[in-house]
Amino acid sequence: MKKTILIIIFVLFIIIAVAAFLRFVIGGPEDDWICESGQWVKHGNPSASKPTTGCGTTTTNVNQNTNTAKIDEQETCEAQDGRWGSIGLFPAEVCNLPTTDGGQECSDATDCQANLCLTELTIEEMEQFTNGKTIKKTGQCPSWQITIGCVDTVEDGQVLGTTCFD
């Protein structure tokens, strides 16, 4: 009888220990702001105010407009070292010209000829950004006037989020 009671107490102890481990170690912070479905949600009673930065990755599908004159002939495009053809989801053939400032450091889109400042985030920076931290960082101007795909962008010296161009 004593042995059965000891086994029951031991099993209950293990269950409580596992529950505590799951709650406090894996469960994450209790009093914090959590990013859920692109919105900041209060979890517990956080001491900090609601984050003002974006929640998670901002994905926007846009057609990128550039400040360059439109070149509508393949020969003219290629004579200026441009790439001629369909770009992204846009079915018409267009000219994508190289920029003169590609690869130069930038802290805002206005620093670049293509009106876009690109950066790459480390895994740690992505995690921090997703958790609402402001990531101060510089980027690089793109090498081409038109950028296709999803890229991390910088505005006013901080990471704005991920923008998708199609």
- Answer yes or no: is pLDDT of 134 > 60: yes
Average pLDDT over the chain reads: 79
The pLDDT tens digits of the residues spanning 80-122 come to: 898 998 888 767 888 899 999 999 999 999 999 999 999 999 9
**How far, in Å, CA of 47 to CA of 53, rounded?**
17
Tell me the per-residue pLDDT of 24-43, one tens digit each, with 9 for 90 and over: 666 555 666 666 655 667 77
Bridging pattern class, strands 149-155 and 118-119:
antiparallel
47-61, 62-76, 97-111: least confident range = 47-61
| Residue percentage of the chain with pLDDT more than 90 | 26
The residues, any chain, with a CB within 8 Å of residue 112's CB and separated by 6 or more, are 99, 101, 104, 106, 141, 142
Which spans in the chain are helix H?
A: 2-21, 74-79, 123-130
Alpha carbons within 13 A on the beta-carbon side of 57: 13
Q: Residue 54: name the closest of 152, 166, 165 by CA.
A: 152
* pLDDT for 57 beyond 50: no
Q: How confident is the model at residue 68 (pLDDT cuts 50, 70, 90)?
A: very low
- pLDDT category, 161, cuts 50, 70, 90? confident
Residue 125 CB coordination number (10 Å): 16
Question: Percent of the chain scored above 70 by pLDDT?
Answer: 73
Which of the 8 DSSP states describes residue 98? B
pTM: 0.56
- pLDDT tens profile 9-21: 888 888 887 777 6
Alpha-carbon torsion, ordered 27, 28, 29, 35, to 10 deg: -110
Higher pLDDT, 161 or 156: 156
